Copies of this chain bind each other. A is one copy, B any other.
């Protein structure tokens, strides 16, 4: 085992680059003309619109470095960014990664992280074209991803209109179950909840398909269904009503958390499913005729940014959003 302080920065970058070279299948349609090793990476012309997103994960906030599997952390740090690209209906093209590292981090830990990047890139495409490595007392990973579409518009948040139904691409709450078990020291690997929390599957194919089929309004569920839906409602200046009995919930979640699964499904964060709105007929057509499954959970109404929750009988249900606010100390 080798501490990063025992080798030069050049050698460290070279070892990490080698992990990618040995593990990532080359893309024959690559637009990358110059990658890691110059002042900047060079990318050929992208089709029409491009989208860019950035998201960081920080030790003691998003994970604990001495406990996390670095390979899974590599996966997750790309996945959360790809999910934002998916939410716009775009295809990921390239990424850059900045690592803030302490001198006592092992090179092997970083190689594991890069193996996780490789695992992920082999499935979801796009290329890691560069980055920066800096010293930091707190370990962090900052990722930026650029995507592209040949459509004239991306999906966005501000286009929901009254009459739209609200749909999600899959079951909610399992990542939150993983987090709860983790905090209680009860999260097993491998397990469904482990995978939901650490190895989220961004809905890239579904996002591209949804935009292609004419869906205009979409985002990903990272802060919980109610919190994220509120962002659509504020951006579009509409209200929304969710029927909590229609939210797709995995059988394992119901079995393991019989008293809390609904709350976890509406308020648990980091599901990384897509949340879209559109005409009911279009939503149903997409779900019936393509591989993108959509579950209708509510509808958009005239209003000014509020989200209501009801049950199957139409009774109003009071739900705490439970989503976190990153800074406010509760």
Contact = CB atoms under 8 A, between A and B. Distances in A.
A52 B130 contact: yes
Interface string A124-166: 0000011111111110101010110000001011100000000
Given A39-B220, A58-B134, A52 B85 contact: no
26 contacts: A5-B328, A7-B327, A8-B327, A9-B327, A33-B49, A38-B156, A39-B88, A39-B219, A40-B147, A40-B154, A42-B49, A43-B49, A45-B46, A45-B49, A52-B129, A52-B130, A54-B144, A55-B98, A56-B134, A56-B142, A58-B100, A58-B135, A61-B136, A100-B100, A101-B327, A137-B138
Given A8-B327, A137-B138, A138-B137, A39 B61 contact: no
Nearest to A96: B54
Interface of A: 4-9, 12, 33-34, 37-46, 48-62, 84-85, 87-88, 90, 94, 96-98, 100-101, 103, 129-138, 140, 142, 144, 146-147, 154, 156-158, 219-220, 235, 325-329
A134 B51 contact: no
B328 A98 contact: no
Contacts of A33: 49
Contacts of A157: 37-39
